[in-house]
Each structure stands twice: as structure tokens, then as C-alpha cells.
């Protein structure tokens, strides 16, 4: 599953880069566009779909209780992996493009070397300045010349350091990741599982409380998504070609590539034979953009309204797209 989620991010970002080049999107929107193409909503959207399919009577994946338990495990792992990739991979993409925009937004002026040279010329015309001050200005001028001539390998080194600069641990380890890690540890370690999981467990009340909070969190997250989408009604300068391209990438190209990848992975025995597991892997290619991209746009102050418009249209069309692809995926894995 980690490799499958990585495929969705890498392929989506490559397709997003092609979309940016074709549409010639505004520079301040490129990071948001790449993020929307790369990151899918691996959190509440996947959780809602899998639970709804599992709880259906006569569902395609067997007994509802067993399907729900396995589905929750798959979705929790997907959520943890997705959040890790979003706040390490997509976060850096949006950060780099926002920093480029801030650099380009600065007014053009004389470089430091030219300013120092101007000061040196002015000081040479002013006899009131002493020789020591003249020497100080000449040293500044020579130092600025050395600073301006940065070797090419040094530029590459700085770019790599800028890219791999890790975000803060608070963003990387979001509450969803921590919860998924704790849940996986409880499910994997037998002593924890015997104490906390099951009707006969001594601390069964903790499981019931967590289950109640989790069930309430699903509609709350959906309401938060809807509240964020309201900003999209205000309109913005997002080109129609950009919105169309993102919709085509997330709902047509990525799902088709996902079917091809999973089909050959099954043929070569690289994927578990559980149909529900294969269904979750396929769904990861057909999800709408992650809401976390909107959070990043607000964090860096780049394309906030435009991101809301993109989220509005992609989530509105997801009702049709997810229905079609979910039906096809169920038929494909059975």
C-alpha cells in the first residue's frame, strides 16, 4: 500500500506538471495545481465509501462485520501513509512554488554589487570621506562580487537543501497519523489487542468511546469540507482549462492508470488476494483532491480563493465520478 499511494502522488504530480506547461497557468497557482493533482482525499472520503460498501446488506465483500473491520484497517493505514506523503512531498512542492513567487514579486533593483559600486563612486567624488572608509567600501564591493558569482554546483546544493528541508514535526505528524499509528500498534500487538479489543476485553469501554468519537468525526469532517468549499462560490481567476485539466487527471487518467497498475500487480502476485484490499488500492487513484492542499494555500497565502474554486468543482463532480468508478472497481476485483 505505501508504494501504491506513492504511485498516485508521483504520477499525479507529473500529470499536473504537464497540465501547468500546457495551460500556462499563473505562477502563483502552480504549486496549488500540482498539489491538487498529486494528493487525493485519503481521509474521510475513503472512509465514507468503504464503510458504506461494507455495511450494505448482501455486499460484495462478504459479512458486514468482517468487511468493516478489515476495511477500517486498510483505510487507517491509507490515511496514515497519505498524511505522511502530503505533509512531506506535497507540502514542499507548494512551499517551493510559493517562495519562488515571493522572490519574483520583489521589485527589480540594482544588485548589491552595483549598489556598492555606486557608493564607491560617490565616495570618490566626496573629499570629506577618509581613506579608511574608501578601503571599507572597496572590501564590501569585492565581497559582493564574490557573493554574486556562486558556482553552479553550489546552486544545485542549495536547491536540494531547500527541497529536502523537512517541515515541522507538528505538521508532519498530524493527529490523523498519530491516531492511525496508535490503532495499528493496538491491532498488531496481541497483549494490547486482548486488553482493548473485543466484547470480553477488560478495557472494552475505551474501544466503545473511541468508536463513538470516530463515528461523530466523519460527518463533522464532511461539514468542514463543505464550509471550505463555500469560498469557491465567490469566483476567481482560475482558468477553465486548469479546472478541466485537474478533473480529467483525477477522474479519468489516474483511475485508468490505477486499473492498469493493479491489474499487472495482481498478475505478478505483488498484491494481496483480498478483493477488499484491491478495491481500496483502486479507490486511491480515483479520489478528489485532498483538503490539506487548501490548508497549505492558506498557510503560504498563495491561491486561497482559487484553491477553493478547484475544490468546489472537483468535489461536486466527485459524486458522479466516484459512483461510476466505485461500481467498476467492485466488478473488477470480484
Q: Report if residue 317 sits inside a domain.
A: yes
> What is the per-residue pLDDT across 289-300, written as a single tens digit (0 to 9) for each?
888 887 788 778
Count of C-beta atoms within a 10 Å radius of residue 158: 11
Q: What average pLDDT score do residues 208-233 get?
A: 68
Assess if residue 91 is contained within a domain.
Answer: yes
Contacts of 269 (CB under 8 A, 6+ apart): none
Distance CA 23, CA 37 (A): 14
Distance CA 75, CA 98 (A): 32
- pLDDT of residue 111 exceeding 50, the answer is no
301 versus 285: the higher-pLDDT residue is 285
Tell me the Ramachandran region of residue 62: left when phi exceeds 0, alpha when psi lies from -120 to 50, beta otherwise.
left
**Residues 94, 121 within the same domain:** no
Q: Crossing angle of helices 112-125/131-148, nearest 10°?
A: 160
239 in the same domain as 155: no
Most confident of 127-141, 176-190, 307-321: 307-321
| Residue 297 domain boundaries | 2-105+208-333
The answer to whether residue 85 is domain-embedded is yes
- The reply to whether 198 falls in a domain is no
Residues 94 and 219 in one domain: yes
Is residue 200 domain-resident? Answer: no
pLDDT, position 228 = 62
So what's the pLDDT on residue 146? 45
Q: Decide if 47 is inside a domain.
A: yes
Residue 184: CA count within 13 A, CB half-sphere: 15
122 shares a domain with 81: no
Whether residue 89 is contained in a domain is answered as yes
Does position 158 have pLDDT exceeding 80, yes or no? Answer: no
Residues 85 and 228 in one domain: yes
The secondary structure of 144-200 as a DSSP string is HHHHH---HHHHHHHHHHHHS-PPPHHHHS-HHHHHHHHHHHHHHSHHHHHHHSSTT
321 has a pLDDT exceeding 50: yes
Stated length of the chain: 334
Judgement on whether residues 98 and 213 belong to the same structural domain of the protein:
yes
Where do runs of H (alpha helix) occur along 230-274? 240-248, 254-267
Predicted model pTM: 0.69
- The percent of residues in the chain predicted with pLDDT above 90, rounded, is 14
The percentage of the chain sitting over the pLDDT mark of 70, rounded to a whole number, equals 69
Q: Tell me, yes or no, whether 249 lies in a domain.
A: yes
- Which of 130, 162, 194 corresponds to the end of one domain? 162
Is 101 found in the same domain as 13? Answer: yes
Same domain? For 32 and 12 the reply is yes
Query: What's the Cα-to-Cα distance from 49 to each of 4, 52, 68, 179, rounded to whole Å?
Result: 19, 5, 11, 20
DSSP 289: B
Same domain for 314 and 214: yes
pLDDT of amino acid 123: 44
d(CA 179, CA 200): 23
Domain identity same for 116 and 95 = no
264: exposed, middle or buried (C-beta count within 10 Å: 0-12, 13-18, 19+)?
Answer: exposed
Same domain, 217 and 323: yes
- Residue 144 near residue 112 (C-beta atoms within 8 A): yes
Domain count, the chain: 2
> Does position 78 have pLDDT exceeding 60, yes or no?
yes
- Residues 94, 123 within the same domain: no
Amino acid at each position: 500500500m505505501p508504494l501504491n499511494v506513492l504511485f498516485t502522488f508521483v504520477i499525479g504530480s507529473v500529470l499536473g506538471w504537464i497540465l501547468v506547461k500546457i495551460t500556462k497557468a499563473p505562477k502563483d497557482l502552480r504549486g496549488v495545481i500540482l498539489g491538487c493533482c498529486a494528493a487525493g482525499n485519503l481521509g474521510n472520503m475513503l472512509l465514507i465509501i468503504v464503510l458504506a460498501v461494507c455495511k450494505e446488506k448482501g455486499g460484495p465483500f462478504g459479512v458486514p462485520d468482517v468487511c468493516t473491520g478489515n476495511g477500517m484497517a486498510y483505510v487507517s493505514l491509507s490515511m496514515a501513509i497519505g498524511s505522511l506523503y502530503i505533509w512531506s512531498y506535497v507540502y514542499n512542492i507548494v512551499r517551493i512554488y510559493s517562495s519562488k513567487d515571493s522572490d519574483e514579486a520583489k521589485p527589480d533593483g540594482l544588485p548589491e554589487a552595483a549598489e556598492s559600486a555606486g557608493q564607491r563612486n560617490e565616495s570618490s567624488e566626496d573629499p570629506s570621506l577618509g581613506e579608511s572608509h574608501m578601503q571599507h567600501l572597496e572590501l564590501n564591493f569585492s565581497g559582493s562580487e564574490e557573493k554574486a558569482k556562486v558556482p553552479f554546483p553550489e546552486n544545485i546544493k542549495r536547491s536540494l537543501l531547500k527541497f529536502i528541508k523537512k517541515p515541522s514535526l507538528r505538521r508532519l505528524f498530524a493527529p490523523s497519523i498519530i491516531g492511525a499509528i496508535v490503532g495499528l500498534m493496538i491491532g498488531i500487538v496481541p497483549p494490547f489487542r486482548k486488553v482493548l479489543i473485543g466484547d470480553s476485553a477488560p478495557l472494552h469501554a475505551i474501544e466503545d468511546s473511541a468508536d463513538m468519537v470516530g463515528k461523530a468525526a466523519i460527518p463533522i469532517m464532511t461539514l468542514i469540507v463543505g464550509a471550505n468549499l463555500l469560498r469557491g462560490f465567490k469566483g476567481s481567476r482560475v482558468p477553465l482549462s486548469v479546472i478541466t485539466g485537474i478533473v480529467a487527471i483525477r477522474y479519468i487518467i489516474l483511475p485508468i492508470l490505477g486499473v492498469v497498475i493493479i491489474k499487472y500487480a495482481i498478475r505478478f502476485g505483488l498484491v494481496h488476494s483480498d478483493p477488499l484490499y484491491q478495491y481500496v488500492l483502486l479507490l486511491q487513484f480515483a479520489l478528489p483532491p485532498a483538503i490539506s492542499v487548501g490548508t497549505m494555500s492558506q498557510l503560504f497565502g498563495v491561491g486561497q480563493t482559487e484553491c477553493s474554486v478547484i475544490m468546489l468543482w472537483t468535489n461536486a463532480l466527485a459524486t458522479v465520478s466516484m459512483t461510476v468508478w466505485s461500481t467498476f472497481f467492485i466488478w473488477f476485483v470480484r
